[in-house]
Chain A
Amino acid sequence: MNRRDLIAAAGACAALPSMVGAARGQPVPIGEPVRASVSFRVNGAGHHLELDTRTTLLDALREHLKLTGTKKGCDHGQCGACTVLVDGQRINSCLTLAVMNQGSEVTTIEGLGSVDNLHPMQAAFVKHDGFQCGYCTPGQICSAVAVLDEIKAGIPSHVSADLEGAMAVSEAELRERMSGNICRCGAYSNIVEAMTDVAGRQG
């Protein structure tokens, strides 16, 4: 089911008569907030936080550590705007609880590079115009950095012709591997160019 179907389904459902009212889910009591402590490192610095257990890693980064480079898009793992690196692997920070990441090493866009010292992928996104509004860009860049690492590590993808051979940095590979990062401005082709540029320089 794609998004268009979902919207169509929701619209059609809204027109159903009120007989469905009795069948609607009863609201559940939310309950008293529960707090727990968690320690992890973010961009090289240690942090100890006392958090509501419901706090996602994304909200811990943005609301508690004020690292607002990581963006909240859909908050359901569909758009990739919240992509960060945890212990070197890219994940959706909206779909993991902060308390589940005890002892982890988190890298956000702020940890990849700075204004005066851009990460090569950040520089390549600027050079190739790999963004327009910029909202998805921190997630795109974190994902792009991890994708090149995954290819280097020989992790295959859906479009890899040979599961056991060396993995190539082709346009098809990059597009497939980046499919968890949505860009509504449609900067995809320039993102592929930026990634190809960085991969080429890495050799």
Chain B
Amino acid sequence: MRAFTYEKAASPAEAATAAARNAEAKFVAGGTNLLDLMKLQIETPTHLIDVNGLGLDTIEATPEGGLRIGAMVRNTALAADARVRRDYAVLSRALLAGASGQLRNRATTAGNLLQRTRCPYFYDTAQPCNKRQPGSGCSALGGFSRQLGVVGTSDSCIATHPSDMAVAMRVLDATVETVKPDASTRSIPLAGLHRLPGSTPHLETALEPGELITAVTLPKPAGGRHIYRKVRDRASYAFALISVAAVIQRDGRGKVALGGVAPKPWRVEAAEAELPRGAKAAAKAMFAGARPTDENAFKLPLVERTLAAVLAEARG
């Protein structure tokens, strides 16, 4: 691991200012993804700004009837929150489908969103990876790609965003609140937080240098059946091959987002008009422009069948 200096920030704005001062600085919250990557020298910050002590660890009701989730709320605490379990069950379910009990106890809301979009070649420093070293090439395109992305990918990168939580937040129309180094704040719809790789897969989010996520807000509960179904190679503690987050209303209308298929939580609002007509039409619309590899083309029918099961469960 590369040596680094360490500070505990005193306020969100101060943390953002400190981060903007040093291009090699990183925020550390739970640390469960960052420290893993630092040990492998894939992440090499020279300065860490600990943002755990900023008081961003509460879940509060908003005046609009929704919830404001502090950026440092741990995944376990969020999944277990009574309001989330009752009104946003798809979010509890998605969180509980991810990682392990130990990791969920430390991993934070903002950290979960900002974990690296990644693939095994990103982890292998002996191999080319456009994300790790821009311009070096993508080993995954001609390599082992069974687990990797089928849509939203590019000739530079086919890695997937591994979060389950983010898929549920996308279907719930979550918004990310941030503070910038100049102390100004802004709201970013979750749909706009993660960038598609294009020719710059090393740039994963719309955040500016030093910009710190302070909270994630959820609009008032939408009702409906909340379902998160994750398909993976083992029953627990594995990344999704594919996952479906859905909020389905009694009349068959609803919202759907997919995990495990793209470099970001994958939702195509236009496809949702097809939901009352069944999974086949909706899946086809969600996968418009999909470019699977020979090894991961199975994800398209797998999504269609999983979505069909989700819609049947919602009706039942």
Please list the residues of chain A having a beta carbon within 8 angstroms of any beta carbon in chain B: 1-2, 5-6, 8-10, 12-14, 16, 20, 23-25, 28-34, 36, 52-54, 56, 75-77, 80, 83, 89-92, 94-97, 99-100, 102, 143, 146-147, 150, 153-158, 160, 163-164, 175-181
Could you say which of B11-19, B190-198, B235-243, B264-272 contacts chain A? Answer: B235-243
Taking CB atoms, residues of chain B closer than 8 Å to A178 are: 101
| Chain A nearest Cβ from B127, distance in angstroms | 5
Contact B79 A5 (CB under 8 A): no
Q: Are A56 and B96 in contact (CB under 8 A)?
A: no
How distant is the Cα of A95 from the Cα of B124 in the complex, in angstroms? 19
Q: Which B residues touch A150, using CB under 8 A?
A: 76, 101
**Nearest CB in chain B to that of A4: its residue:** B233
Which A-B residue pairs are the 3 nearest by beta carbons?
A180-B100, A23-B136, A179-B236
Residue pair A9, B102 in contact (C-beta under 8 Å): no
Number of chain B interface residues as a range: 35 or more
User: How far is it, in angstroms, between the C-alpha of A164 and the C-alpha of B85 when the chains are bound?
Assistant: 7
CA separation between A2 and B135, bound complex, in Å?
28
State whether A176 touches B146 (Cβ < 8 A): no
Residue from A34, A96, A100, A176 in contact with B236 in the complex, judged by beta carbons closer than 8 Å: A176
Q: How far is the CA of A59 from the CA of B261 in the complex (A)?
A: 37
Give B92-114 interface residues, CB cut-off 8 Å to A: 92-93, 96-97, 99-103, 105-106
With A53-B48, A77-B103, A95-B35 already in contact, the answer to whether A5 and B96 are too (CB < 8 A) is: no
A95 is contacted by which of B3, B32, B125 (Cβ under 8 Å)? B32
Cα A158 to Cα B98 with chains together (Å):
9
**Interface 9-residue window, one of B38-46, B165-173, B304-312:** B38-46
Q: Which residues of B contact A102 (CB under 8 A)?
A: 8
Check B92 against A156 for contact (C-beta < 8 Å). yes
Determine how close the nearest CB of chain B comes to the CB of A63; give it in whole angstroms. Answer: 15
What's the minimum C-beta distance from A53 to chain B, rounded to whole angstroms? 5
Do B36 and A9 have beta carbons less than 8 Å apart?
no
Report whether A75 and B127 are in contact in the complex, using a CB–CB cutoff of 8 Å: no
Cβ–Cβ < 8 Å partners of B32 in chain A: 77, 92, 95
Taking CB atoms, residues of chain A closer than 8 Å to B31 are 95-97, 100
- Please determine whether A25 and B125 come into contact, CB atoms closer than 8 angstroms: yes
Taking a contact as CB atoms under 8 Å apart, the answer to whether A34 and B80 are in contact is no
Evaluate contact between A180 and B233: CB separation under 8 angstroms. Answer: no
Which stretch (B137-145, B150-158, B203-211, B286-294) binds chain A? B137-145
Which B residues have a C-beta under 8 Å from some C-beta of A? 1-6, 8, 28, 30-32, 35-36, 39, 41, 44, 46, 48, 50, 52, 76, 79-80, 82, 85-86, 89, 92-93, 96-97, 99-103, 105-106, 119-121, 124-128, 132-133, 135-137, 139, 143-144, 146-147, 233-239
Provide the bound-state CA to CA distance between A23 and B125, in Å: 10
Output the nearest chain A residue to B162 by Cβ-Cβ distance. Answer: A1
Asked whether A1 lies within 8 Å of B147 as measured between CB atoms, the reply is: yes
Q: How far does the alpha carbon of A80 sit from the alpha carbon of B28 in the complex, in Å? A: 21
Residues of B within 8 A of A30 (CB): 1-3
Q: Is the Cβ of A31 less than 8 Å from the Cβ of B136? A: no
Listed by A's residue number, 11 A-B pairs whose Cβ atoms lie within 8 Å are A10-B124, A23-B135, A25-B125, A28-B41, A54-B3, A77-B36, A90-B105, A156-B96, A158-B96, A177-B101, A178-B101
Whether B124 pairs with A80 at a CB distance below 8 angstroms is no
CB A9 to nearest CB in B, in angstroms, measures 4
Contacts of B124 in A (CB 8 A): 9-10, 13
Query: A32 — which chain B residues lie within 8 A by C-beta?
Result: 3
Whether A2 contacts B101 in the complex (CB less than 8 A), given A30-B3, A53-B4, comes out as no
Check A91–B106 contact: CB distance below 8 A: yes
Give the distance in Å from the alpha carbon of A181 to the alpha carbon of B238 in the complex: 13
A147 to B102 alpha-carbon distance, docked (Å):
10
Distance in Å: Cβ of B257 to nearest Cβ of chain A: 18
Question: What are the residues of chain A within 8 A of B76 when measuring CB–CB?
Answer: 89, 150, 155
CB contact between B126 and one of A24, A96, A97, A156 (< 8 Å): that residue? A24
A28, A158, A176: residue with the most chain B Cβ atoms closer than 10 Å: A158
